[in-house]
Amino acid sequence: MSLDISEEVGGPVSSDESLANADPVWTQEAIEAERQRIAGDRWAKRVLGRGPTPETLADIEGHIRRMDGENLALALSILGQLGNDDTAAVTALQELLGHERPGGAYQLRQLIDALRFGVLPTSPAPARRAQRRIRTFRTRFEESLAPDSLAYLGDNEQRLGDMLADEAAQEAEDDEAAQAEAEHSEHLAKAGVYVFTYPHYHRHPTIPSERTDRLPDRTLMKIGSASNLGQRIDQIANQTAAPEPRRILRLYLSSDPDADVRELEYKFHRLLDAAGHAGPRRASVQRQTGGTEWFTTSLDFLDSVAATLALEIIVFDAVEGL
């Protein structure tokens, strides 16, 4: 798909501050209809937060356009061209990000929907991500956003905080993870490379992406290999006095039954080290004490490595963390 991302319905992407004062192009009725449509999307669990007025929406979009060259501005341009064609929009966003899988595109779309329309994710990890990005956007443009726009963003940031305090939502997320493992029992009996983490790291990235979405969040993940993935992951979990159950995120499988999975693991580790994604112990004097399979990385990066190695990617998290 080829799109001209320099222009859209609202005009060119620019750093010109005058764009922050654009006239409204949405009616209140159209805004509410779009909020209902977005909240009904099947690919993510979302609720309606505070909705914007036409003036607030114009103000928010104007400030997004000022983020010249950043993914939010480019995404707004893409959405302006594609309208309600969500499938085409996600495909275009995936191409923009250069990712192997659409997870990052869904996350970017989810963020821009939260900023523009106050449609908020309910699952803990994406809710925390949206809360952090809304806070960053509000702080970045605090001097130029209209008072009503600041109040709108602040209310939705608070709503996300309230949802994050809901222990039932976290328990539901943990139940979904357990269900995903049961559904992939056949894959877990195979040889390959595994990726797992713990819910805390999944919900609280160790290196969050703040001012720009050029790079995805990075967090601690364990990347290893085994001839029987499920048995090895359980063995590690039983040996480790972890305060919470591990969360499997990916399996990478080779179509070659004779593939050396230790060699595949080595290739992952070598590329992760070269990219500067080494975990806290790999380059330290504690290297011999364990923990050398932990990396501060992202699923987008790991999926790109797997695709380069022609491995099958088994996704555990629904819509990749959304």
pLDDT in tens, 179-206: 777 788 889 999 999 999 888 887 777 8
| 3 state DSSP class of 224 | strand
| 3 state DSSP class of 203 | helix
Q: Are 296 and 277 in contact (CB under 8 A)?
A: yes
Minimum mean pLDDT range among 15-29, 203-217, 292-306: 15-29
Residue 295 counted as domain residue: yes
Residue 10 counted as domain residue: no
pLDDT reading at 18 higher than 50: no
Higher pLDDT, residue 236 or 28: 28
pLDDT reading at 282 higher than 70: no
pLDDT reading at 78 higher than 60: yes
pLDDT for 22: 53
Q: How many residues does the chain have?
A: 322
Q: Are residues 117 and 191 in the same domain?
A: no
Q: Are residues 204 and 82 in the same domain?
A: no
Q: Are residues 72 and 153 in the same domain?
A: yes
Measured CA to CA in angstroms, residue 212 lies from 62, 68, 133, 209, 281 at distances of 17, 11, 9, 6, 28
Task: Choose one of 165, 189, 222: the last residue of a domain.
Answer: 165
Q: Are residues 82 and 147 in the same domain?
A: yes
Residue 1 counted as domain residue: no
Q: Are residues 158 and 176 in the same domain?
A: no
Residue 12 counted as domain residue: no
Q: Are residues 182 and 91 in the same domain?
A: no
Q: Are residues 147 and 213 in the same domain?
A: no
pLDDT for 207: 81
The residues, ordered by sequence, that sit 6+ positions from 310 with a Cβ below 8 Å of its Cβ are: 254, 255
Q: Are residues 264 and 155 in the same domain?
A: no
pLDDT reading at 319 higher than 60: no
pLDDT for 89: 76
pLDDT for 12: 35
Please compute the mean of the pLDDT values over residues 158-183 and round it to a whole number: 77
pLDDT for 153: 96
Q: Are residues 83 and 25 in the same domain?
A: yes
Q: Are residues 231 and 306 in the same domain?
A: yes
Query: How far apart, in whole angstroms, are the C-alpha atoms of residue 24 and residue 131?
Result: 25
pLDDT for 179: 77
Query: How far apart, in whole angstroms, are the C-alpha atoms of residue 118 and residue 253?
Result: 39
pLDDT for 310: 92
> In degrees, to the nearest 5, what angle opens at C-alpha 48 toward C-alphas 157 and 115?
50
Highest mean pLDDT out of 124-138, 212-226, 248-262: 248-262
pLDDT reading at 39 higher than 90: no
pLDDT for 299: 86
Residue 38 banded pLDDT, cuts 50, 70, 90: confident
Measured CA to CA in angstroms, residue 243 lies from 2, 198, 246, 316 at distances of 48, 9, 9, 21
Task: Choose one of 165, 190, 222: the last residue of a domain.
Answer: 165
Q: Are residues 195 and 221 in the same domain?
A: yes
Query: How far apart, in whole angstroms, are the C-alpha atoms of residue 315 and residue 252?
Result: 9
Residue 7 counted as domain residue: no
Residue 184 counted as domain residue: yes
Share above pLDDT 70 across residues of the chain, in percent, rounded to a whole number? 78
Task: Choose one of 104, 131, 165: the last residue of a domain.
Answer: 165
Query: How far apart, in whole angstroms, are the C-alpha atoms of residue 208 and residue 183?
Result: 30
Give the tens place of pLDDT for each residue, 221-258: 999 999 999 889 888 877 766 777 888 999 999 988 88
Residue 2 counted as domain residue: no
Q: Are residues 248 and 158 in the same domain?
A: no
Domain that holds residue 91: 17-165
Give the tens place of pLDDT for each residue, 90-101: 788 777 776 666
Residue 11 counted as domain residue: no
pLDDT reading at 44 higher than 70: no
Domains: count for the chain: 2
Q: Are 230 and 186 in contact (CB under 8 A)?
A: no
Terminal Cα distance for the chain, rounded: 24
| Maximum pairwise Cα distance, the chain | 63
> pTM above 0.85?
no
Q: Are 313 and 38 in contact (CB under 8 A)?
A: no
Query: How far apart, in whole angstroms, are the C-alpha atoms of residue 163 and residue 34?
Result: 23
Q: Exposed, middle or buried: residue 318 (CB in 10 Å: 0-12, 13-18, 19+)?
A: middle
Residue 147 banded pLDDT, cuts 50, 70, 90: very high
Tokens of 47: 């609720």
pLDDT, averaged across the chain: 79
